Structures are given as C-alpha cells and as structure tokens.
Structure 1
C-alpha cells in the first residue's frame, strides 16, 4: 500500500534530521579518534556529497541543472550561496564540533533562525512581534546557560567552541537567505548539488586542504574511520540527509519539514552520548530546551522558505 504524500513527507523529514545528526556525531568521532583537520574534512565532505547529488540532478533534474547556468545573475547568486553560505556554514559547524561536541554545536547552529528574524525586523524597520521577542530572549538565555551553566563568572564552554558555534549560526542564517529565489526557479536539488561541489572545490583550492589529508591504513585512518567518513558523514549524513529533507519539503512544505527535521538536535545529542560517551550536565539540557523552543515559536515565520545546512 502506497504511503500518503503527508506520511511520506514526515518520514523523510525525520530521516533527514536523523541523518544530519548522525553526520555531526561521525565528525566528532573522526576528530576525537583520528585528529582530522576540519578544512580537509569540510572540503572532502562537500565535494563528495556534491558529486553524489550531481548524479541525482543529472538523472532527474537535467533541464533545471542546465538552466541554472544560463544566466550570469543566477551564476553569481549561486557562487555567493556556495561560498559565503553553504561552505562557511559547513566549515564553522565542523570546527564548532571539534572544539565542543556534536550536540552542542548543532543546538548553537539553531540560533540561526532567530538571527534571520532579527535581520528581517531590521530591514523592514519594525519591532519584533511578541513571539519573536520571546524567541530572541530564549536564545540569549539558552546560550548563556550553555556557556556558563548559570554562573557568569565561570565559562564552562571554551571560547573557541562558543565563537565557532555562534559563527555556525550566523552562516546558517546567510545560507538560508542567500539563495533567494534561486531554488524556486531551478529546484532545490540542482542548487544544493552545485553549491556543495563549488563550495568544496573552492575551499580545497584556496586552503590547499589536500596537504592536511590523513594517511590511510593501520595507525591512521583505518576501516572504521573510513566507514565513518564516507558512509556515515558523506553518504548517509550529507547526500541522503539533504535528499530526504528536500523530498520532505516537496511533500509537506518547508515550514513543516524544517520543524520536524529539528529532530537533528536530539539525534546529534543521542549519538554523542550513546555512541561517543559525551557527558552533558543538567544545565546543558536546560540551555538546549531554551534554544530549541525557538523552532516552535518561529514555526510560522514565513521568511524561512530556503533549505538549511
């Protein structure tokens, strides 16, 4: 019996969120066990996932993929999205994981929607609504609790983790805003596929990240690390995660899909605790609740129609 469109959309939104959360845990595992460089990991993740999604686009969205490069305006917009949105979002997120853990970095990244609200209010020269104002307050309180556990004289999170986590939130907001109507004109999968490939290739060339590539074999990146990298992080966490989420957006709409896909934070935290043995204190979870409550407070905020990291 065929699934209804709504049921299928909910399933894929959950699957995409779990995939993203698992990819964060895989990144934490690779940092902890193999000391991989985030520059190399980001460029490899994006390039490989971009190639996988390009194959999908060539099979099912060839006309849209070709149309994406038919206008200089679209090409410039794609470049901005690829480098200043998608690539920086991926890089800051992975560096935040390196300095903290998958759960904390993922929750901090979810400050991004509140930054979008603030930017929208500023550009429209209006004050936040009551719901938006409460969401901003929740973000401030949640970040404060994560960073200090309620004691302003004691920073329990490293300054680097806080800096890169907030950077991931800022770049996630840029990533959401920067494509504009590009996805509406050409479809999500062609835009994200090209964005992944362009962003990964640009980072690789600019930073010469191949100089930070790990050695393969015993004593370096062994079979377990290889599986975590290429199966967990790239194929399941990135290529499948994005494809599943985009299908959910198509089936049930961006607002509902993004709300359901916020299971990513639960997924990332659960994998960090159960698989990697990461320890969280009660105040960490209180901070998580404050920040994630903004997802529900802003569920009807209509400016967030683009696809996230």
Structure 2
C-alpha cells in the first residue's frame, strides 16, 4: 500500500511538472502566431487560476476558515500581499516575458536558476563559507547559463539579450517567491496561499491591463483551447497535482522530479515550435539541471526546504 502511494505521488508530480513545461511552449505559440499580449495572458492566467484555488479552499473544511483569516493578522496580510505582488506576479510576468522575447526552453531553464540565487542569499545571510558542492553548483549554474545564452560562441547571443534578462529576473523572483512563502506556509493551507497570491498578482496587473481588453491577432479555432490549456491544465491542475503529491512523497523527491519541467519545455519547443537548440545549449541545459539536483540534495534543512519549493511556478 505504501509503495502504491509513493508511486502515485511520483506520477502526480511528474505529470504536473510536464504540464508546466508544455504550458510554457503553448504560451510561446500564442506569442509567436497569435500576437497575444504578455500582460493580458498573465492577467487572465492569474485571475482564473487564483479564483479556482480559493474556490477549492472554500470547499475544503480544513482550509475554509483560513481564506479570510489570513487577512485578520496584519503581518500575514502584508506578507501575502508581498508574496502575490512581488513573488507570484513577478515570477509569472518575467517568465512569460522571457518566452515572448525568446523561447520557452531557454526561459524555463533560466528560471531554474532560482536555487542558485537562494543558495547565494543564504550563504550571505548566514555569513557562512560555501561548501565544495555549493561552489561546484554555482560553477554549473554560471557555465550552463553562458552556454544557453551563446551556444558556445562569444560572437553573439543565441537568444535575445532581452529574453535572457527576463529569464534571469524570473529566477530571482522565483527565489524571492520561495523564501518569502516560509513566513506563513506552516500556518495556512497551500491552496489558500497560492490562491490569494495569484488573485493579488492578477488584480495588480489588471490595473495596467484589464483582462477584457484583449490584444490578439490571427485568432484561430485552436486559440481558445490553447488559452484554456494554459489556465486549467498548465496552471491550476499542475499546481494541484504538485501540492497533492506532497501527501505521498517527500518535498526533496518532488523537487528532483520537478526537473521534468525544463526537459519537457525543451523537447516540446523543438518538436512543436521548431525552436533551434544547439549542441552547446544542450550541455548548458544539463548543467542547470545537475545544479538543481545538487542543491536539492543538500543536507542543511533550511537550504533543502528552500530548494525543494523552488520549482513551484
């Protein structure tokens, strides 16, 4: 029975990570062929998924009372606002902006630099000298990023500089997202935190770009289905499967299996969008993934917890 539950958790987190990877490629298709606005897609994605998560929380007896209770504590209210505005909105917008100006494969891999930024932050905060494993992981992160950007040549970038900038910012904001969530993750159900975070981020972006102002060209029959996939499967279901998998497997296992996301993003971008991906970029992708695995296997509990949550996007 325990073995079956463990296998169930592995399947759930793997499917969730794969859905994240595919949704990034589908977003790239919308940007490339339908000229969808990045702001509009992020706004609609956050508002719809956030609403669904809060509805899910209201349907659960354990989390129902927490939906409004989180706003009764001033400190928690401030933290959830920062989590939604800086963390959730920050990571979602920078990630999709990186896809829009580049491609889903490189954007996803650059976002996976989050554990690297978390490690640097914790080393500086704790004023501790990095271990050999951490130093090697930092080298892999920098070397892998260089190969992803240049495909092994210093003559120019293989991906636009703007896309690289957004991708690196996505990793930075994901690091903030992960670290800041520790302020309340032990006291509130994940569905409450993620639901409010998404809704706050969506409402904040709605001020600049209301969801009813649709900016899209070349609308086709498949366009609504693609948008629906990104919102329902690539966001809500992917998050739900990940959170549910934690009942059956450890956060460390889920973090390692989360590496399915960049792999799926690369493969789906190659096959579906025919995105060029050079041999040196493949090596760079492997370096980034190995870096994530190394940092996920660290023994220090605080750092492990940070790395374990780093792929939740």
Please report the TM-score for the alignment, with normalisation by the length of structure 2: 0.92
CA distance in 1, matches of 2:2, 2:137: 39
Native 8 Å contact 1:67 1:186 kept in 2: no
CA distance in 2, matches of 1:33, 1:288: 26
Give the C-alpha shift of residue 255 in structure 1.
1.6
Give the C-alpha shift of residue 156 in structure 1.
2.1
* SS of structure 2 residue aligned to 1:157: coil
Q: Could you tell me which residue of structure 2 aligns to residue 199 of structure 1? A: 201
Q: Could you tell me which residue of structure 2 aligns to residue 237 of structure 1? A: 234
Q: Return 5+ residue gaps in structure 1 as ranges.
A: none
The 10-residue stretch of structure 1 (249-258 or 136-145) with the greater mean CA deviation from structure 2? 249-258
- Superposed structure 1 runs of 4+ greater than 6 Å apart: none
CA distance in 1, matches of 2:222, 2:167: 27
CA distance in 1, matches of 2:59, 2:95: 30
Native 8 Å contact 1:5 1:251 kept in 2: yes
Q: Could you tell me which residue of structure 2 aligns to residue 247 of structure 1? A: 244
Q: Could you tell me which residue of structure 2 aligns to residue 149 of structure 1? A: 151
Number of matched residues?
A: 304
The 10-residue stretch of structure 1 (253-262 or 43-52) with the greater mean CA deviation from structure 2? 253-262
1:134 aligns with 2:131: no
CA distance in 2, matches of 1:38, 1:89: 13
Match of 1:70 among 69, 72, 79: 72
Q: Could you tell me which residue of structure 2 aligns to residue 214 of structure 1? A: 215
CA distance in 2, matches of 1:252, 1:117: 24
- What are the Cα deviations for residues 269-303 of structure 1, in whole angstroms up to 9, with x where unaligned? 12111222222111110110111111211122424
Q: Return 5+ residue gaps in structure 2 as ranges.
A: 299-303
CA RMSD of aligned residues (A): 1.7
Give the C-alpha shift of residue 2 in structure 1.
9.7
Q: Could you tell me which residue of structure 1 aligns to residue 258 of structure 2? A: 261
The 10-residue stretch of structure 1 (297-306 or 233-242) with the greater mean CA deviation from structure 2? 297-306
* SS of structure 1 residue aligned to 2:187: helix
CA distance in 1, matches of 2:309, 2:2: 28
Native 8 Å contact 1:37 1:212 kept in 2: no
Q: Could you tell me which residue of structure 1 aligns to residue 36 of structure 2? A: 36
The 10-residue stretch of structure 1 (38-47 or 147-156) with the greater mean CA deviation from structure 2? 147-156
Q: Could you tell me which residue of structure 2 aligns to residue 119 of structure 1? A: 121
Q: Could you tell me which residue of structure 2 aligns to residue 109 of structure 1? A: 111
Native 8 Å contact 1:44 1:200 kept in 2: yes
* SS of structure 2 residue aligned to 1:185: coil
Give the C-alpha shift of residue 221 in structure 1.
2.6
* SS of structure 1 residue aligned to 2:253: helix
- What are the Cα deviations for residues 153-178 of structure 1, in whole angstroms up to 9, with x where unaligned? 32222110111111111111011111
CA distance in 2, matches of 1:193, 1:4: 30
Change (3 A) 1:48 1:3: farther
Give the C-alpha shift of residue 115 in structure 1.
0.5
Q: Could you tell me which residue of structure 2 aligns to residue 180 of structure 1? A: 182
